[in-house]
Amino acid sequence: MGRLDGKVVTITGAASGLGRAMAIRFAAEGAALALGDLNEAGLQETVRMLDESGASTSAKVATRKMDVTSEDDCSALVADAVTRWGRLDVMVANAGTGAPAPIARQELADWDRVLRVNLTGVFLCAKHAFRAMTQNTPAGGTILALASVAGLEGTPGLGAYGVSKAGVIQLVKTLALEGARYNIRSNALCPVWIQTPMVDAFVANAQGGPEKGKERLASTVPLGRLGQPEEVASAALYLASDEAAFVSGIALPVAGGHTAGFAMG
């Protein structure tokens, strides 16, 4: 039996990286998927990969080109799931972006954009998912947001990003408390550097080249490497499934020991 059999899941940012990896893993575990992203071509590539993996047929996947900063779009993505499958069980608010810069050189427009996508976008998706989950019979569901270790710790050059992710962690805690009486659980995942296009972009202009840049990132992780998207998808699967039925209001690091303390030598 699949660990998400019978579950209806929405994932934002499903055209790339972690969103795509979660879509593939969740489909293999039996979920029906309503996927959203700004990038329509990337979404179609995710659908192609789902078909190819045999994890899901297109009959169990809906896609929508959408922007998480638009309340209408977030509401429409939730409606895709409810209209097609009659319910929503899991919202994965994953879409995110960055604008790395030291605070003293951060443009206001970039700061606003990062907060709007990473924090307001999660709020809007969670708001509409929460409403749909209260309409399930019986009420219930799970909201899972992609935060980051940058939301738990300060990271030079990632001020706007880190603030947005800290906000996401605060948001899921509030949702966990507000959702408890409806059996709506809410949690955040806090990955460290994971091998996705976001990290590729981050190291694109690194001193010594992208590979050197990745080595430097890996050296900050006690396990000594970048994470893989599938490793984040495994943690997401646990939190999304009924195996985590008594887990709510947490921010789970998926970080190779990064949050354990200061590694010597």
Ligand X SMILES: NC(=O)c1ccc[n+]([C@@H]2O[C@H](COP(=O)([O-])OP(=O)(O)OC[C@H]3O[C@@H](n4cnc5c(N)ncnc54)[C@H](O)[C@@H]3O)[C@@H](O)[C@H]2O)c1
Binding site for ligand X (CB under 6 A): 12-13, 15-19, 37-39, 42, 66-69, 94-97, 117, 121, 146, 148, 191, 193-194, 196-199
Smallest gap from residue 82 Cβ to ligand X (A): 19
Smallest gap from residue 39 Cβ to ligand X (A): 4
Smallest gap from residue 151 Cβ to ligand X (A): 8
CA–CA dist 161, 128 (Å, integer): 24
Exposure class string for 105-122: b at 16+ Cβ within 10 A, else e: ebeeebbebbbbbbbbbb
CA neighbours closer than 13 Å in the CB half-sphere of residue 169: 19
CA–CA dist 80, 157 (Å, integer): 37
Burial (CB count within 10 angstroms: exposed 0-12, middle 13-18, buried 19+), residue 185: buried
Alpha helices in the chain (DSSP H): 17-28, 40-53, 71-85, 108-115, 121-134, 159-179, 197-203, 210-218, 229-240
User: Across-strand partners of 65?
Assistant: 37
| Active-site residue, 161 included | yes
- Pairing mode, if any, of strands 32-37 and 8-12? parallel
Query: Torsions phi, psi of 146, nearest 5?
Result: -85, 105
Distances (CA, A) of 184 to 27, 85, 195, 249: 22, 19, 31, 10
- Given the residues 26, 123, 161, 193, select the one marked as catalytic: 161
Before 229, cis peptide (omega within 30)? Answer: no
DSSP 110-131: HHHHHHIIIIIHHHHHHHHHHH
**Catalytic residue positions, numbered:** 161
